Amino acid sequence: MKELCAVPDRYIRYAMTKEFFCARMIEGSSVREHGVMMLSPVKKLKDLQAGLEKEIYVDVILQSLPPFYDQFIINYNMNGLEKSFHELVNMLVQYEATIEKSAPSVLVGEASTSKVKTKVAGREKRKKDETSSTTTSTSSTPVTPLGGGKGKRKRVRQPKILNDVCNYCREKGH
């Protein structure tokens, strides 16, 4: 009877590898809690002699981390570190504490509008300059607006000539 109710080791190994390989740390949660949670399947897989090497355990732990730890993972792999599971979790806890302390605090305050006001004032001044130059000049040479920035197409503006024909009523001079 005991043999009929017993769960085969193969199924337990399957369930533990699935739990281990599919585990993902939720962004914003504690890396210490994630490490403790990952410890259970690691111990069971070692007890079941799953045949996984230490490097595989470390790789899966690193892959289960959110993008917040990408810099840590790059440094860990580039420096060729060979740490045990417990040492890796301790390093991750230290990294998390260091990054959280050095994160810049966000100051909430009123935004400065001086730059916006300057831009608006500059546009108004240019418009006044353009209108005064078009009313005094009767030449037919094109006038380009000031301040055509990089990547912007420059508009060519021709002053109104009193001898032009109106497109609407076909009369001259207005």
Q: What are the boundaries of each domain within the chain?
A: 2-102
| pTM confidence score | 0.51
Q: How much is the pLDDT for 58?
A: 86
Question: Which of 49, 44, 97 is closest to 69 using CA atoms?
Answer: 97
pLDDT tens for the chain, 174 residues: list them. Answer: 455 556 677 888 888 888 888 999 988 888 999 988 888 888 888 888 877 788 888 888 999 999 989 999 999 888 888 888 888 889 999 998 888 777 665 545 555 555 555 555 555 656 555 555 554 444 455 555 555 555 556 666 665 566 777 887 888 776
Q: How much is the pLDDT for 6?
A: 60
Distance separating alpha carbons of residues 89 and 170, to the nearest angstrom: 84
Strand partners, 157: 143
Long-range contacts of 89-98 (CB under 8 A, 24+ apart): 89/31, 89/32, 89/35, 89/38, 89/39, 89/61, 92/31, 92/35, 92/65, 93/31, 93/32, 93/35, 95/31, 95/69, 96/30, 96/31
